[in-house]
A and B are shown apart, each in its own frame.
Chain A
C-alpha cells in the first residue's frame, strides 16, 4: 500500500466527513432542543438533492444557488412538520415521536417517488467531472465545493449559536426549557425554528452533493441515516461541536475502512470505530455536555 493511496483515502474521507458533519449538525440540534430523534432527517437531504436537480434541469439554475432556496423551502416545510406532527407529540412518550418520524420518513420517500420516479438521476453539470490535481491526487471540484461550503455553513452556524441572541435562545431551550421560559424565551417558537433550521441544513447539504451522487428516493436513508446517527451519538447527542468532529471521524473511518476491507464493508469500519469509542467513552466524546 503506497503513501499516495493513504493520502487519497484521507482526503476523500475528510471531504465526505464535512458533509456528514453538516447533516449531523441539524440532527443533533433537533435532538438537543426537543429531545426528538428525527428518523426522517435523511429524507430532507434527499429532497434537497431533488430540488437542486429540478432547479438545474427545468430552470437551468446552478445547484449552489438552488441550495439556498432548498434551505429556505425546507425550513418552511420543516417548521410546518414540527407544528403539525412533532409539537403535539412532544408531551407524549418518546416511542410515539419515534413512530411519527419513521412514518414521516416513509411518507417523504413515497412522495419523492411519486414526484420524481424511482430511477437514478444525475445533475449533468458540464464541468461535473473536472478535477483538481494535488500532486498525484485528483479531486473533483464538485466535491471540493460541497465540502468547503458545508464546513463554512457549519462554522457560521456555530458562531450564530455562540454569539447571536437567537443562538443563545436555542442553547438555553436545549439545556433547560423551563428556565428558558422564565427568561422570557418563547420555547415553542424556538422548537419550530430549530426543526426548520435542522431539516433546512440537511436539504442544503443535499443540494451541495447533488452533482456528486446518483439521486434516487432512498439515497438519504441508504447512505446518510446510519452515519448521521453514529456521528450524533459519538459526538454526544445534542452537542454541535461533537457533530462536527464526529462527522470528520466517521468520514475518515469509512474511507480507510473501504480501503482496508473493500467498499462493501466501509460502514462496518465506521461502526467498529463507533463501538470502540463508546466502550471507552460511553457518553460520547463530549461527556454528555451541550454546546
Chain B
C-alpha cells in the first residue's frame, strides 16, 4: 500500500532522514519508534507531503506520489494526524471534524461520520460546539484523531498520538487506535510510548539519527536486547 524507498529529507544544510525505506501493506498496523530528533516526524511529514523529499520515492497504492501536493494525497486516502495535533484553534469541535471530511461532499454522510466519531469518543459529543482552543489536551487529541478519521483514510499516519497525555488517556487513545485498525484502517504510527505501541502493532521500525536501526515484528523487537535496554527499560 505504502512504499518508501531511499528517502532523504533535509532542512537547509541539516539532513534529518538518510536513505530510509519502509513499507506498509494493506491491513497492517506498523510502528515507527526512536528517540527525540531521530527523524520520525520528518519521515511522516514527507510521506504526507508537508515537507519535500530530497531523494527517494514514495509510492501509495501503486502510484508515485513523491511530487504530489499534500491536498492531493489526502484525496487518495493518505491522511496524517500530525504531531502536536494542529487543530483549528478558533473553530468548534464540530467544525474541526467537518473539515476532516473536506474532500467529501455528501452532507448526510459527513453528518453520519461526525456521529461515529462521537460514538468513539463520547465525551466529545457534549463539547461539539466548544472551540478547540479551550479543550483539554486529551480532548484535543481525540478531536485530532476523529478529524483524521472523517476523511475515511485508506492509510492513517499518526504522529505521537499519546504525546503529553495522562496515562489513563494514553490507554484510551491506544484502545481507540486498536479499534480503528480492527475496523479495517491501515495504520502507520510514530510513537515514543514503545511498550504500548508494540502491544498493538504487528511490525515496527526503529529510527536512530535519521536511519533505520532495526526492523521486525513486534515480538522480535520486544525480544531484542538493544530494544529492551534502550526503549523498554528492561534487562537484556
Contact status B69-A181, CB under 8 Å: yes
Contact status A182-B90, CB under 8 Å: no
Chain B residues within an 8 Å CB radius of A188? 69
Chain B residues within an 8 Å CB radius of A187? 71
Contact status B100-A181, CB under 8 Å: no
Please report B residues at the A interface, Cβ cutoff 8 Å. Answer: 48-50, 69-71, 74-75, 79-80, 82, 86-91, 95, 98-100, 102-103, 105, 147, 151
- Number of cross-chain contacts by CB at 8 Å: 67
Interface range on chain A: under 10, 10 to 19, 20 to 34, or 35 or more?
Answer: 20 to 34
Known pairs A183-B74, A183-B151, A185-B102 / 9 extra A-B pairs, C-beta < 8 Å: A172-B91, A175-B88, A176-B87, A179-B86, A180-B99, A181-B50, A182-B82, A183-B99, A185-B99
* A148–B42 alpha-carbon span in the complex (Å): 52
Contact status B50-A182, CB under 8 Å: yes
Contact status B91-A185, CB under 8 Å: no
**CB within 8 A of B80: which of A172, A175, A180, A182?**
A182
Binary contact readout A172-212 vs B (1 if CB under 8 angstroms, 0 otherwise): 10011011111111111000000000000000000000000
* A168–B86 alpha-carbon span in the complex (Å): 16
Q: Which of A157-171 contact B (CB under 8 A)?
A: 165, 168-169, 171
* A290–B102 alpha-carbon span in the complex (Å): 20
Query: With A172-B88, A175-B91, A178-B82 as given contacts, are A184 and B69 in contact (CB-CB < 8 Å)?
Result: no
Chain A residues within an 8 Å CB radius of B91? 171-172, 175
* A182–B44 alpha-carbon span in the complex (Å): 12
Query: With A168-B95, A175-B90, A290-B90 as given contacts, are A184 and B102 in contact (CB-CB < 8 Å)?
Result: yes
Chain B residues within an 8 Å CB radius of A176? 86-89
* A224–B105 alpha-carbon span in the complex (Å): 40
Contact status A182-B86, CB under 8 Å: yes
Chain A residues within an 8 Å CB radius of B87? 176, 179
**CB within 8 A of A182: which of B48, B89, B105?**
B48
